[in-house]
Amino acid sequence: MNDFDYEIVEEAAKQLYIRALCDLPPDVRTALKKAYDRETQPAARAVFEAMFKTIEIADKEKTLICQDTGLPIYKVKIGSKFPWNGYQIKTRLYEGAKRATVEFPFRSSSTHPITRENPQTSVGPGLPVIYYDFAEDSDCLDILMAPKGSGSENMSKMQMFYPAHGVKAVKKFILDTVVESGANPCPPGVIGVGIGGTADLVMKLAKDAILRPVGRRNPDPYLAEMEADLEDAINATGRGPMGLGGDVSTLAVHIESAYTHITQNPVAVNTQCWPARRSRAVIRPDGSVEYGY
């Protein structure tokens, strides 16, 4: 299967970026409607109604949900039976993200970190961000794309804890991070939490958490209980939609974890704004592509 056409991957990468920016996943839509139904404050309900109008316009006009088109992130899961060339996949994801920006077109948010020069392509050294994983007994290439805006990304935090600090200190750090973020991440969105691993891995875990379908609990019962406790605590702050006050301050808290060293416990928080944007493509060896979320 060395003759696999990697232009299919490039086109999928392009379409994923555009779809993620324009088409909100069904679980996010449902979560927002449930949040609206729970909300009792008139001003907060008006904010939700403005969100629904934004989604309606994006659906009708096939246009952006938010003007911040974010930095492109691709999570790639390669099946054990899929014919693949890692270099080709990396190159095609780069070109696909670039083409989406130029051909749609939309504003590029990627710049040089010092000179702040923006090539208007959404790509450059280190971008797009690509994470790789592998699936047993699968012949598919599974690509999950998320555009990450700066309003939420700027509120990211990581802290190294010792085991002696205990769970209460971890929960306090998470809650304090959310409260201090105020209106910046455009709440109510998803609060992603990473626990364990290393300093670099824990932030990836937090980002993995925000890409989970909204409200899907961690299979670990202890972590699932912790997710529910944190949701209640965050909603009790009264921060509300867009930070203007209300009953609903988050759509969900998701936690992902990894084993860590016996003398440490890294914790990271990565927030997603209210349009928790993502799009998925499943590519098969015959070149067929199935789009979803």
Q: Rounded to an integer, what distance in angstroms lies between the CA atom of residue 93 and that of residue 12?
A: 8
Question: Do 118 and 178 sit in the same domain of this protein?
Answer: no
The size of the chain, in residues, is: 293
Question: Do 211 and 233 sit in the same domain of this protein?
Answer: yes
Beta-carbon contacts of 132 under 8 Å, excluding residues fewer than 6 positions away, are 76, 77, 78, 86
Indicate the burial class of 103 (C-beta count within 10 angstroms; 0-12, 13-18, 19 or more).
exposed
Question: Do 109 and 246 sit in the same domain of this protein?
Answer: no
Question: Do 267 and 205 sit in the same domain of this protein?
Answer: yes
Q: Which domain holds residue 87?
A: 7-21+65-149+277-292
Query: Can you give the pLDDT at residue 22?
Result: 98
In this structure, are residues 133 and 114 in contact, taking their beta carbons and an 8 Å threshold? Answer: no
pTM score, whole prediction: 0.95
Query: Can you give the pLDDT at residue 156?
Result: 98
Closest Cα to residue 33, out of 18, 19, 51, 21? Answer: 51
Q: Rounded to an integer, what distance in angstroms lies between the CA atom of residue 8 and that of residue 5?
A: 6
Query: Can you give the pLDDT at residue 3?
Result: 83
pLDDT tens across the length of the chain (293 residues)? 468 999 999 999 999 999 999 999 999 999 999 999 999 999 999 999 999 999 999 999 999 999 999 999 999 999 999 999 999 999 999 999 999 999 999 999 999 999 999 999 999 999 999 999 999 999 999 999 999 999 999 999 999 999 999 999 999 999 999 999 999 999 999 999 999 999 999 999 999 999 999 999 999 999 999 999 999 999 999 999 999 999 999 999 999 999 999 999 999 999 999 999 999 999 999 999 999 99
**Does residue 203 lie within any of the structural domains?**
yes
Question: Do 15 and 137 sit in the same domain of this protein?
Answer: yes
**Does residue 252 lie within any of the structural domains?**
yes
**Does residue 111 lie within any of the structural domains?**
yes
Question: Do 142 and 113 sit in the same domain of this protein?
Answer: yes
Query: Can you give the pLDDT at residue 1?
Result: 46
Closest Cα to residue 109, out of 141, 62, 139, 71? Answer: 71
